[in-house]
Structure 1
């Protein structure tokens, strides 16, 4: 029994022998980053507040509490933590208690022999019964059995570390799911705002088209406009009217999708909305590419999975070595319950066993190859996660910069088109303009206004993509610890 107490100190002789080279290509800076210092405006933890929408902030709070995808990810963390306990149990001795009471009755010699035959020879040497008569026999026992597997080669320790890294990966997965959920909420909310903007613009354009149609019909009645002019304006008016139902569908469907994201029934959920023109884009700088390795949860998750596969390889390699099992049993055994716990009834045993795999049909070798294959897969997945992260940031930076520029230019187009349409409408009322020119000015304005709304939406989606690419809000660098 004393030997068992020193068992845990004899483990881990080959632990840490499997570590592949990462060979990561980390650039010094982003190509599309501005010239501002890396710490000028790093993303804050509650980055969505920077958009200046109270309703969006409320939706984000509700998402983090009620989103069911996040709840599933939290449940997976609980499972992973439990698996750590399962993997760590072989590192501790096991203690089992047992107690039994046996009462046997034997009849004549012939019946005893017959009974012994049925019981597999159980009467031999039992109770000292006399031949030809009957006897009763009682046996009482209680015992404790302790056993421990010496983890001399680190197999069980490696299994524990693999489970711990998997649990860490599950926590980063929860962060990935949370970030994806809140970004999806922001994007869906912005799509609702953009659809509301387009609906307002379309209705305003419909009203303008109906005004022009009324003027052309008046001129047609006076003989100064043709049926072709009337029909063309009627077609443009009908086009604006037909554009309204699809926008209403977009609003309704996005509100229903948003309800699921915040854990609400769509029938009991509503969104006030507003306008994309009132949403401001928070200023943010991407920092250094090397910092992204510690800020993006998907990279950290891939890193933890790689670490887990490293330990799994060590576990599979250690399985080739001998296993040493120590077992100690102590207790009391007596034929009389009253004398069960007397010194004379005590017994104890101590057993040490060693098992060495010799031939198992290449099972252990195949398991090692499989573990190395998973390790290689996780290594490549980690490399891809890093490169994809850099790519995501670059694409988001370019999109945000260019859509911001396009918004400013498109606003100028809308202003010029609005002026041209107002002038054309005034001249139409005075009868001093060609109807084709009015129609062109009208179509140009309607197209320019819808395009402006779409560009604003693209800019907002690029902003959320940048925050997602950066891993959400950044925690202070000093609190982060690498898993390698």
Structure 2
């Protein structure tokens, strides 16, 4: 009989192959199949396939200090640590659901003693009844004839895969945010240098006007204007110092630990800190972004939940079985005559349960919600890439125009000095020319930083940095 029980369990396990999960069909992309290459985008050199996902972040970031800062962030950032823990949690939940497909075996042993009073004793005498037992068997095991447990297992698997993609997305976001904060710090430090130089120029101008005012040549209005310019630039200098400290605070927060001063930038990087990113013409690259892949896994999980909701309409069958020995004497416990077995097969069919229909309708609505979220994720990814391509297509032209303006102002400054030395113009023209030049250099610094920040953002938008 014990052999028959084992055979029954094996047959039931094999028969558990039915599934009501709807067949998954990949949704069509709710965006254009190609990125535009006309108009302002004709300045961009598109390849058939982007190189962003193939470039490891260690190769993409060329600035050695920034690379070390990013390494620290990947090691200490709490958001990324939470994303990694979420993956472990999802893996454990998947393990639980997968284990429900198989029977749970257990072994028990016990000793039971009971006093039988003389009133109910067959011998009309009180006595103590003893029972020794050893059992090995199945806990109540739901046999997955109609795929409900398999559907839950599939849902847990897809959620686990979504968590893995979310971890990759968290890493990409972290690398992008750290790089952007680092670049902002570079720009503010460079602008502080320029602001200090502007302050020296304004102070020279004020001293010149003051000497003329004392001599009765300049008016009080001229003196107040010069003083106003000095104080205005001082406010800007203090504000930039404040911004630099805020930038460092942001960087420390993103990294998750205090950054040593030797890793902080001193100003504008001498070289481009990032590798060149070549965009591909096809927008299907967006499907490989971790956030899009995570959204698709969640969509597949919603299909599995529909399968579980459908399976709930069918009978649930459970099996409990034990094999063991029972005896009133411990010495006879393992003799053949003491063997015992138990087999309990139960089935339950929902005849009337409105909750099942409500759960089925809910699963279908949830699939529509997740589908909409998936499409929205793709649209958002497409917009991110388009925004970065728009800046990429125009930023070089802006920088070149600003460089021409700087060169023109440098020439104006040189001519102002010559005219001052020749006695044609006053020294005011020299100071004003220098002020305009320094302000133009500040604008150029900000444009260069915007170009660098856009490159890391485009790298992330095309799915790079998740390795």
| TM-score > 0.5, shorter chain as reference | yes
- Structure 1 residues 36 and 23: CA distance shift in structure 2, 3 A: closer
Q: Helix, strand or coil: the match of 2:100? A: helix
Which position in structure 2 is the counterpart of 1:104? 114
Structure 1, unaligned runs of 5 or more: 114-127, 476-484
Q: Helix, strand or coil: the match of 2:28? A: coil
CA distance in 2, matches of 1:179, 1:42: 12
Q: CA deviation at 1:52?
A: 3.2
CA distance in 1, matches of 2:344, 2:281: 60
Which position in structure 2 is the counterpart of 1:184? 177
Q: CA deviation at 1:428?
A: 4.7
CA distance in 1, matches of 2:54, 2:28: 31
> Deviating runs (4+, > 6 A) in structure 1?
none
CA distance in 2, matches of 1:209, 1:66: 45
> Does structure 2 retain, via aligned residues, the 8 Å contact 1:255–1:271?
no
Deviations along 1:151-184, one digit per CA (max 9) or x if unpaired, are 1211111111110110000000001111111110
1:397 equivalent in alignment to 2:389: yes
Deviations along 1:324-368, one digit per CA (max 9) or x if unpaired, are 2223221111111111111111111222221101122x1111111
> Does structure 2 retain, via aligned residues, the 8 Å contact 1:192–1:251?
yes
- Structure 1 residues 97 and 208: CA distance shift in structure 2, 3 A: same
CA RMSD of aligned residues (A): 2.5
Of the three residues 82, 91, 112, the one matched with 1:81 is: 91
Which position in structure 1 is the counterpart of 2:380? 388
Q: Helix, strand or coil: the match of 1:320? A: coil
Of the three residues 440, 452, 457, the one matched with 2:444 is: 452
Q: CA deviation at 1:129?
A: 4.9
- Structure 1 residues 319 and 161: CA distance shift in structure 2, 3 A: same
Q: CA deviation at 1:140?
A: 1.3
Which position in structure 2 is the counterpart of 1:296? 289
Of the three residues 4, 10, 13, the one matched with 2:15 is: 10
Which structure has the higher relative contact order (CA within 8 Å, separation 6+)?
Answer: 2
Q: Helix, strand or coil: the match of 1:91? A: coil
Deviations along 1:387-433, one digit per CA (max 9) or x if unpaired, are 22122111101112322221121122122223323433554566533
> Does structure 2 retain, via aligned residues, the 8 Å contact 1:277–1:456?
no
> Does structure 1 retain, via aligned residues, the 8 Å contact 2:21–2:308?
no
> Does structure 2 retain, via aligned residues, the 8 Å contact 1:11–1:157?
no
Q: CA deviation at 1:270?
A: 6.4
Of the three residues 357, 368, 388, the one matched with 1:365 is: 357
Which position in structure 2 is the counterpart of 1:168? 161
Q: Helix, strand or coil: the match of 1:278? A: coil
CA distance in 1, matches of 2:313, 2:287: 36
CA distance in 1, matches of 2:441, 2:345: 85
Map of 1:302-381 to 2, 5 A cutoff?
Answer: 302-360=295-353, 362-381=354-373
Structure 2, unaligned runs of 5 or more: none
Q: Helix, strand or coil: the match of 1:433? A: coil
Of the three residues 49, 62, 79, the one matched with 1:69 is: 79
Of the three residues 37, 46, 55, the one matched with 2:56 is: 46
TM-score, normalising length: structure 2: 0.90
Which position in structure 1 is the counterpart of 2:410? 418
Which position in structure 2 is the counterpart of 1:159? 152
1:432 equivalent in alignment to 2:424: yes
TM-score, normalising length: structure 1: 0.87
Q: CA deviation at 1:317?
A: 0.9
- Structure 1 residues 456 and 30: CA distance shift in structure 2, 3 A: same
CA distance in 2, matches of 1:413, 1:84: 62
Which position in structure 1 is the counterpart of 2:68? 58
Q: Helix, strand or coil: the match of 2:320? A: strand
Of the three residues 224, 236, 247, the one matched with 2:240 is: 247
> Does structure 2 retain, via aligned residues, the 8 Å contact 1:49–1:57?
no
